[in-house]
Amino acid sequence: MRTRKSINRNAKQALSDLSQAEAQAQLDSFLAKYDPEVETIARRVLGKMRKLMPGAIEMVYDNYNWLVIGFSPTERPSEAIFSIVLPPGRVTLCFLQGAGLPDPAKRLVGSGNVVRSIRLYDAGTSDASVLDDPEVLALINVALNRAKVPVSAGARRKLIIRAISERQRPRRRAPGGM
């Protein structure tokens, strides 16, 4: 009899065997679950982050609560530098090694020991252009320069679907809900 652990291992292996086109199609299907405005902003942010980190490994987690797209120099999640997080009705850029970043303009939110974030979209209030803000670009550059593991200059982008939760909360906001 197969144990749950071996089934999960086989499922993870199947996800890692996806071609880049299959992984992109899977990511597209995850994004399509969201409200059209959220999907549009998320795709815009994803495109900008891909330009800022052309050699990053993109790790996608379609979790129970939300979709997360991490940007890392390696396939190790602990070395990721940024992530785009999509709870229903929102798009947030997380600085995964952001606690020590200098932030004189106070753009970063959070008080934990490791992560800081910037909200890019919140239910009808779009600020996707925040990624073009010189202060935010400076924060991104400092985060890249201070990363535990730098992104290799010659690295090629790779998209990996790391997890898909069988059960998920709705990705669209309830009508009139927050």
The pLDDT value recorded for residue 6 is: 39
Arithmetic mean of pLDDT over the chain: 88
Cα dihedral 128/54/99/111 (nearest 10): 30
Mean pLDDT for 161-173 is 91
List the one residue out of 84, 87, 108 whose CA is nearest residue 98: 108
Q: Is the confidence at residue 116, as pLDDT, over 90?
A: yes
Terminal-residue alpha carbon distance, the chain: 45
User: Which residues are CB-neighbours of 89 under 8 A, at least 6 positions away?
Assistant: 35, 38, 122, 123, 173, 178
Q: Is the confidence at residue 95, as pLDDT, over 90?
A: yes
The answer to whether 103 and 141 have CB atoms below 8 angstroms apart is: no
Instruction: For 25, list phi and psi in degrees, rounded to 5.
Output: -65, -40
34-82, pLDDT tens digit by residue? 999 999 999 999 999 999 999 999 999 999 999 999 999 999 999 999 9
Q: Is the confidence at residue 117, as pLDDT, over 60?
A: yes
The answer to whether 61 and 86 have CB atoms below 8 angstroms apart is: no
Confidence of residue 127 (pLDDT cuts 50, 70, 90): low
| Residues pairing with 94 in the sheet | 83, 117
Confidence of residue 3 (pLDDT cuts 50, 70, 90): very low
The answer to whether 101 and 139 have CB atoms below 8 angstroms apart is: yes
Q: Which residue matches tokens 């009899």?
A: 1
Q: Is the confidence at residue 147, as pLDDT, over 90?
A: yes
Query: What is the full DSSP assignment across 66-78?
Result: -EEEEEESSS-GG
Q: Is the confidence at residue 25, as pLDDT, over 90?
A: yes
pTM of the model: 0.87
The first and second tokens of residue 14, run together, are 């199947």
